[in-house]
Structure 1
């Protein structure tokens, strides 16, 4: 499947890129050098340009094989990478997936991710006929909790000792949004 671009107002969602015209590699390295990103995004280990290039390749492969859908969320004017969204663990038979997302430190608290994630969810529920999207985050990650709430996810429970952060086992909160749930009317 070809990557899908989505217009989300002040931002647009496109495939992650590393080619002779556009490269998300420097921004990915910068984002993952941020202490908060490093702390909570433990499943992806982007530490340098080579690992960022591998990440872009893996995201591209997901589109190609239609098992993972990912977007670089970019400023509509500058084209700068400001956030990322990945729908993974896609199960087409069940119509389910899990979302992972992050925001560039310079763009946090501006509502970028809730608007972009809502746009991506609209595509997943509409174009791909998904039924259930799961969102998980460490209990201490209150920014992720606000994103889940703003995007209409419902808290389902607490996963005990689900993740390791700062060399300590921590609980995660698990949220879901169904295709039948009401779309949030207004995003702050």
Structure 2
């Protein structure tokens, strides 16, 4: 499922002879700011990046997670990733996630991509509620959540894997 997000388009992560996101993935996951907030994955080699691309495709296939590469429309260059994880089509809920390649931050890419993913979640999947969580110190994520129409719920009971408090936001279908 590809989505036209205006200045960008959302597509499946790729690692094939036509388009290969693996190098850009490794660059993003090597960035200290990215590593600070994305703790679940380390992509240090092409093999690890290949596994990551395959994982995202498998998660989509089993309705566990919708994940898109945020791409520059003329070249297909990877600018980031946006997704709806913890997808529950029985209760019509999901949790949003987004990151931007370090060389592309500060341009509104995350907000544009997240807004498009929210539209797909509510309109295409029929979700009723999408949450968004971030570490308390991540001011950029707080600003992004507010910009994309999420309502602040407050701190989570359990901290993030790094031990820092998590803040939860909620967005409901209208």
1:176 and 2:170 equivalent?
yes
Q: Which residue of 2 aligns with 1:105?
A: 102
| Superposed counterparts of 1:26-175, under 5 Å | 26-165=23-162, 169-175=163-169
How far 1:63 sits from its partner (Å)? 1.9
- Cα deviation, residue 19, structure 1: 1.2
Query: Retained in 2: the 8 A contact 1:160–1:170?
Result: no
Aligned residues: 174
TM-score, normalised on structure 2? 0.96
TM-score, reference length from structure 1: 0.89
Cα distance, 1:48 vs. partner? 2.2
User: Which residue does 1:184 correspond to in 2?
Assistant: none
Unaligned runs of 5+ in 1: 181-188
The CA RMSD measured in Å over matched residues stands at 1.1
Q: Greater strand percent: which structure?
A: 1
Q: Which runs of 5+ in 2 are unaligned?
A: none
Query: Partner residue of 1:183?
Result: none
User: What's the CA shift for 1:78?
Assistant: 2.5
Residue of structure 2 in register with 1:9 after alignment: 6
